[in-house]
């Protein structure tokens, strides 16, 4: 029979064993990852039972001296659709005079595209701001 409670709830009720704390003061940046496993690879079965579908991967780490091995898990805790900011994604048009080839080169380097119908460069508001030309642009319709 499967328990539908979250792993955190089961841990609070004492249904899951407590994990010992890491001995001493260990900076995780000093450890190195020696193995990474993803479900359903062997070595993830017990942790998959414990954490359910939130388990992303299991990592085995070692301290700098190689005396201790630590098992860490990566869990999915939240997900949401990506929302882009309209202000940064809004398209703007910029007319560049023929005597300013340097600006044209910068626009190309930053991903601007030439718009034949408008006879102007098409770029994002973020790019226009970065290049310092936002005041010279007009917003596309």
Give the CA distances from residue 126 to residues 82, 88, 101, in Å, rounded to whole numbers and listed in that order: 18, 5, 21
Residue 128 inside a domain? The answer is yes
82-134, pLDDT tens digit by residue?
765 554 467 888 888 767 788 888 988 988 888 888 888 898 888 889 999 88
* 41 lies in the same domain as 61: yes
* pTM summary value: 0.45
| Range(s) of the domain holding residue 35 | 7-75
62-78, pLDDT tens digit by residue?
988 888 888 999 999 99
Q: Which of 49, 75, 101 is the last residue of a domain?
A: 75
Residue 134 inside a domain? The answer is yes
The answer on pLDDT for 1 being more than 50 is: no
* 130 lies in the same domain as 93: yes
Kindly report the average pLDDT of the chain as a whole number: 81
* 128 lies in the same domain as 94: yes
* 91 lies in the same domain as 41: no
Q: How many CB atoms lie within 10 A of CB 122?
A: 19
Residue 52 inside a domain? The answer is yes
The answer on pLDDT for 23 being more than 80 is: no
Using a 10 angstrom Cβ sphere, with 0-12 exposed, 13-18 middle and 19 or more buried, the burial of residue 23 is exposed
The reported pLDDT for the residue numbered 76 is 93
Q: How many separate domains does the chain show?
A: 2
Using a 10 angstrom Cβ sphere, with 0-12 exposed, 13-18 middle and 19 or more buried, the burial of residue 73 is middle
* 15 lies in the same domain as 71: yes
* 12 lies in the same domain as 34: yes
**Coil, strand, or helix at residue 114?**
strand
Residue 91 inside a domain? The answer is yes
* 45 lies in the same domain as 103: no
């Amino acid at each position: 029979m499967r328990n539908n409670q979250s792993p955190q709830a089961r841990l609070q009720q004492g249904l899951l064993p407590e994990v010992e704390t890491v001995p001493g003061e260990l900076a995780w940046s000093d450890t190195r990852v020696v193995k990474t496993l993803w479900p359903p690879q062997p070595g993830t079965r017990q942790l998959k039972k414990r954490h359910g579908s939130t388990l992303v991967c299991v990592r085995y780490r070692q301290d700098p001296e190689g005396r201790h091995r630590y098992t860490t898990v990566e869990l999915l805790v939240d997900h949401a659709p990506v929302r882009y900011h309209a202000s940064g994604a809004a398209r703007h048009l910029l007319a560049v005079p023929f005597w300013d080839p340097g600006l044209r080169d910068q626009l190309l380097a930053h991903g601007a595209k030439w718009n034949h119908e408008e006879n102007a460069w098409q770029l994002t508001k973020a790019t226009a701001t970065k290049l310092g030309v936002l005041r010279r642009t007009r917003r596309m319709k």
